[in-house]
């Protein structure tokens, strides 16, 4: 089933210990949709400026991603400039030029209205809530957020959280959102805010799912599930790793007939797989060149490096 994603399509200028790139295609919706496109059809709602050309459209087209919902506005696209130093888990934002994104008002095209899976990428929670409200018959909604919205827009974010099936955030965001230093206690508090299930991403240490009594109608045996990450000797560019995780995770979920605990766990592994590919090159380069065979092989590698029966 197709996924509808709303979020940013942007240009990124990035410095990492491996090098730098200037104005490469990026944005949460871009990374998410490329990753998800290996599993299911994807539809994108975003806004771009006049600097978004046929070449950039081609990146989506090559993966059969429907970008008829991308609005073209006068001016320039969202542009993020950032740097990573020795700690590749932490980006330093050098400049944020919202440009056309400052006045983004997501509109859902008629052709997208039957989407049963909705991903609310990291944007203003007022916009996330607005999109959610316009999709009353959606079957599953996943969302992301960040420190900026957690600290400055808590009330708007609360509306979004109440309606989420799965929230995907990282360790720091979870602790900040809950106001707790222990991750398990933080997860318990966040699950009380609304999401049926919480997935916390630990960067190089994988990800943990925290289930509630609302997950899978209570049919999950344990409260946790841990998915590994691939130990990597070189991380060229961590930008978009979290969105690629979300794309692999939600793309696989949307491709499956039923949402069972077993499907959810495999989705966590596919999330890790897509994140591990994303960081191998700058921007979207690796996901553009990826094949389904490589994904399947790496999924098997993830299984082998975490399962007792693999030898």
What are the residues binding a copy of itself (CB under 8 A)?
86-87, 181-185, 187-188, 202, 204-206, 208, 210, 220-222, 224-226, 228, 230-235, 260-262, 265-266, 269, 301, 303-311
| Helices within the chain (DSSP H only) | 28-36, 54-61, 125-133, 147-152, 154-162, 171-178, 183-192, 241-255, 261-278, 285-289, 292-304
Identify whether the C-beta of residue 260 lies closer than 8 Å to the C-beta of residue 216: yes
CB of 219 to a copy of itself, least distance (A): 8
- Quote the least distance from Cβ 34 to a copy of itself, whole Å: 25
Minimum distance from residue 281 beta carbon to a copy of itself (Å): 17
Q: Which is nearer to a copy of itself, 76 or 265 (CB)?
A: 265
In whole angstroms, the minimum distance from the beta carbon of 225 to a copy of itself comes to: 6
**Nearest approach, Cβ of residue 310 and a copy of itself (Å):** 7
99/76 Cα distance (integer angstroms)? 6
Q: Which of residues 114 and 213 has its CB atom nearest to a copy of itself in the complex?
A: 213
Q: Angle at which helices 125-133 and 154-162 pack, to 10 degrees?
A: 30
Closer residue to a copy of itself in complex, CB, 53/233: 233
Burial class (CB in 10 A: 0-12, 13-18, 19+), 248: buried
Shortest distance in whole angstroms from residue 302 CB to a copy of itself: 9
The token pair that represents 269 in the structure block: 């592994």
Burial class (CB within 10 angstroms; exposed 0-12, middle 13-18, buried 19+) of 5 = buried
Output 71 or 188, the one with its CB closest to a copy of itself.
Answer: 188
Name which of 3 and 207 has its Cβ closer to a copy of itself.
207
* Interatomic CA distance for residues 290 and 274, integer angstroms: 10
Identify the DSSP state of 306: T
Kindly give, in sequence order, each residue whose CB lies less than 8 Å from that of residue 305, ignoring residues fewer than 6 positions away. Answer: 228, 230
Beta strand pairing call for 3-6 and 42-48: parallel
Our CB check for a copy of itself shows the closer of 139 and 226 to be 226
CB of 33 to a copy of itself, least distance (A): 26
The CA-CA-CA angle for residues 155, 161, 165, to 5°, reads 170
Q: Which is nearer to a copy of itself, 55 or 86 (CB)?
A: 86
Map residue 84 onto helix, strand or coil: strand
């Amino acid at each position: 089933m197709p996924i509808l994603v709303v979020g940013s399509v942007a240009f990124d200028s990035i410095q990492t210990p491996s090098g730098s790139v200037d104005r490469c295609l990026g944005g949460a919706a871009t990374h998410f949709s490329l990753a998800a496109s290996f599993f299911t059809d994807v539809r994108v709602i975003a806004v771009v400026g006049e600097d978004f050309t046929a070449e950039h459209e081609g990146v989506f087209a090559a993966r059969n991603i429907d970008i008829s919902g991308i609005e073209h506005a006068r001016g320039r696209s969202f542009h993020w400039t950032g740097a990573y130093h020795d700690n590749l888990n932490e980006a330093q934002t050098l400049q944020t030029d919202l440009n056309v994104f400052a006045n983004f008002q997501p509109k859902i095209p008629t052709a997208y209205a039957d989407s049963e899976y909705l991903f609310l990428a990291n944007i203003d929670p007022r916009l996330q809530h607005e999109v959610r409200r316009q999709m009353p018959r959606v079957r599953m909604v996943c969302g992301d957020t960040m420190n900026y919205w957690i600290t400055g827009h808590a009330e708007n974010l609360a509306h979004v959280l109440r309606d989420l099936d799965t929230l995907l955030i990282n360790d720091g965001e979870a602790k900040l959102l809950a106001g707790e230093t222990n991750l398990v206690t933080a997860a318990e508090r966040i699950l009380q805010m609304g999401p049926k299930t919480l997935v916390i991403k630990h960067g190089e240490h994988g990800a943990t799912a925290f289930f509630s009594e609302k997950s899978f109608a209570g049919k999950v045996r344990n409260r946790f599930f841990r998915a590994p990450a691939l130990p990597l000797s070189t991380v060229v560019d961590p930008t978009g790793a979290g969105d690629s995780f979300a794309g692999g995770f939600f793309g696989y979920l949307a491709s499956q007939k039923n949402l069972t605990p077993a499907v959810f766990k495999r989705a966590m592994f596919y999330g890790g797989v897509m994140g591990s590919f994303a960081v191998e090159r700058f921007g979207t380069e690796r996901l553009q060149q990826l094949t389904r065979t490589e994904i399947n092989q790496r999924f098997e590698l993830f299984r082998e490096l975490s399962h007792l029966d693999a030898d």
